[in-house]
Amino acid sequence: MAEGEPLAYVNGTFLPLSEAKVSILDRGFQFADGVYEVIPVYAGSPFRLGAHIRRLARSLGDIGMDLPMATAAFAEAVYELIKRNEGGDCQAYIQVTRGEAPRNHSFPEAVHPTVVMTCTPVTPVPGEWVRDGVAAISVEDIRWARCDIKAISLLPNVMMRQKAAEQGAYEAIWMHEGRAVEGAASNLFAVFDGEARTPPDGPRVLPGITRDVVLELAADEALPVRTGEITADELAAAEEVWVTSSTKEILPVTRLDQQPVGSGRPGPLFRTVLDAYRARIQAIREHGEEGPS
């Protein structure tokens, strides 16, 4: 083990990342038969760990699996992984697959799930992304019909993020039957007449943890943010557009399909919501997260 090498968790064992291995017969490798979570960690404290584990359990249930260990044991393993990797600001990644089995499309009758966790440093969001905003493109939604499951089968997302990068954009926003639903790796908010809307939960939208935090903050501070459908025409005429995710928090989109969004600068409601979000994160850095979030 190289000095300072990160540690991973594989099926109950902590070991150097370079030694962490799973079988080539694992159904995650063969079929993308599994789900995952990415948990932001601030000053050693995982943010909304309970919510992430609940979403993991829901995704597993939707593909016919149970959480492979008790919720408390899962949380303990995450905390131990963070501790062994010296805490600080990082991101914890959890992946659960159906496990190793002979290659057959049907579920195996007896198989042990594979549980892998890693902890890696976060790359700070460039200051100019928040100051000036980022670009996005709109793309036809080519994914499957259960986008609410946080599955590891992300090839369409990879393809569209690459398409965005080749056009000098940060994100690709999925369009389905004339409606904007979410980003390839984020949830979506758009502002109309001073009020922000985010598409409601459903089979085409992953229920984002950061998105839910924004909705909670809006309710706590009486900010004009709600759930509601966003048509393609509305998105093109929005005053503000934001995207949210666990690793990038809240980012303003100031260019969409090579056209300015609103004034072409981050808008006032974005700044208000970002300030509230950052205040919540600062409290976690100072005191940790309270409650079973």
User: Which residues are marked as active site?
Assistant: 150
Give the H or E element holding residue 249: strand 249-256
Tokens of 215: 């909705």
Tokens of 237: 């005429």
- What does the DSSP assignment read for 198-227? EPPSBTTB---HHHHHHHHHHHHTT-SEEE
CA 97 to chain centre: 18
- List residues bridging with 119 in a β-sheet: 92
User: Collapsing DSSP states into helix, strand and coil, what is residue 152?
Assistant: coil
Which one, of 248, 40, 146, lies nearest residue 156 by Cα? 146
CB 223: neighbour CB atoms within 10 A?
17
Cβ-based neighbours of 66, under 8 Å, separated by 6 or more: 57, 60
Q: CA geometry: angle at 207 spanning 205 and 209, to 5°? A: 140
The CA distance from 145 to 155, in Å, is 14
**How far, in Å, CA of 98 to CA of 31, rounded?**
10
Q: Residue 198 is encoded by which pair of tokens?
A: 């985010």
CA dihedral (154, 155, 158, 164) positive or negative: negative
Positive or negative, the CA dihedral 268, 233, 169, 199 is: positive
> Token pair of 30, please?
């063969």
